[in-house]
Structure 1
């Protein structure tokens, strides 16, 4: 039985989970991405930076909307995730460019739209990372950020911790880098405005998932909760899965909240040049 690393490399964790991550497309990633793209409203011929792209759930529909006269740079730290984008239908659109890189250090600017669906928590410094994304937009350009709503997925992480082998050191539920106060749409909008945006609007997008055993476990191994499992071998994983499902049954958990908050704002226009006397 392997040790659990509670501070894993994010790209490695999601690279390991890439196949299961993709299995959640229909139930989770694609509906959330559609809601984001609807609000971000990519337009024909626009240049878009799609940050923490995962398997392309937001990048691909965005590329379809901007068309061959536009451009989408899809950036993710995980090579297996980038490979999933390339393998999906539409993943070879010439104007969809897939990059393996840290978006918090992305060097290019001037985008009409910068969007990040459920990815800002990957940044070591969330506030600084989002401020960098704002600077990647052109003056007057739009920035869209989607985060989990307060309490999303409760109590799945706690049930998972309870299911892990008590003979080993119990992992802690590290919240990771400081997150924006996303308890309400208003608080997220205020936080985004503090990052340098104007005309910010944020919405709560409610979503609830009915759980069966397969989905309940897939939400562990295909999301960030996978980090709590470390490098447990197959036999240990199977034992944890059984205890986890029993824990959910004991708690009477038959559904889980998967709501998100989506904020869209605009980088301020460049100030007008001073007249020359």
Structure 2
């Protein structure tokens, strides 16, 4: 799931040999590792994620590559408080949804760029993962007991951050941060599901927090209810469409 989404971003970010890159909210390194390969030993990638577990997964991904990547520098830190500047490229794949202050966080990342540098951001398209998530929430409410009900209530009260929902709106939004030559693009993507993959997606996405506090037996009941609801509602595919925006800091 993450590799094609991240590679679509890297394709549009177009990292070049020798560039200095900040990969904000790097997760398991799905965009940071290929970017490090492209900038080569003459460049560097600072891959930042607030989760130490995620940066460790990124390290394991990098160690699995055919050649060492000393240019990949992993940091367990908050990207919205990252201080170094002068980057040729700053990219953030589905990370702004974790910012407490989306506008402030994006402005901070843009400020890390050197004049002429590129900012690339990937957002979920409207409706992406919606039916899948609703079925999961309903299953957790039905079978998760008090802990499940509290988790669903907390998840639903969080809502979707106020971010652009169309390529044109994304391009305009990036312009509000002082970026030039902005553009946005819809990247449609759907993934066929079976029960195993559907549950692995639950555990591999931010929706994991809906079941994180459940004991094993309760989690198994939730999984069974979730699969039954998917079958009942005909959810055999998940929408993983994104919109990707690119902008340039003025020279």
TM normalised by structure 2 equals 0.92
| Structure-1 separation of matches of 2:230 and 2:56 | 34
Cα offset, 1:238, TM superposition: 0.2
Query: Is the alpha carbon distance of 1:174 and 1:92 closer, same or farther for their aligned partners in structure 2, counting shifts above 3 Å?
Result: farther
What is aligned with 2:28? 55
Match of 2:42 in 1: 69
In 1, Cα distance between equivalents of 2:230 and 2:236? 8
Give the equivalent residue in structure 2 for 1:147.
123
Give the Å deviation of 1:31. Answer: 0.4
Q: Are residues 1:174 and 2:150 paired?
A: no
The alignment status of 1:38 with 2:7, answered yes or no, reads no
Counterpart Cα distance in 1 of 2:16 and 2:229? 47
1:121–1:176 CA contact under 8 A, matched in 2: no
Q: 1:200 matched to which residue of 2?
A: 182
Q: Deviations over 1:133-156 (max 9, x none)?
A: 100000110000001100001211
Secondary structure of the 2:157 match is coil
Secondary structure in structure 1 of the residue aligned to 2:111: helix
Contact map agreement 1:121 1:179 (CA 8 A) in 2: no
Pair 177,125 (structure 1): closer, same or farther in 2 beyond 3 Å: farther
Structure scoring higher RCO (CA < 8 A, sep ≥ 6) equals: 1
Structure 1: 4+ residue segments shifted above 3 A: 174-177
Contact in 1 for aligned 2:170/2:183 (Cα 8 Å): no
Matched-pair contact (CA < 8 Å) for 1:123–1:177: no
Matched ranges for 1:1-277 at <5 A: 28-88=1-61, 89-90=64-65, 92-166=68-142, 167-168=145-146, 169=149, 171-172=152-153, 173-176=156-159, 178-182=161-165, 184-269=166-251
Residue 179 of structure 1 and its aligned partner are, at CA, apart by 3.1
Deviations 1:133-183 (A, max 9, x none): 10000011000000110000121111112112445336222345733122x
Name the TM-score, length of structure 1 as normaliser. 0.83
Q: Distance in 1 between matches of 2:162 and 2:43?
A: 32
3-state SS of paired residue (2:178): coil
Worse-superposed segment, 155-164 or 232-241: 155-164
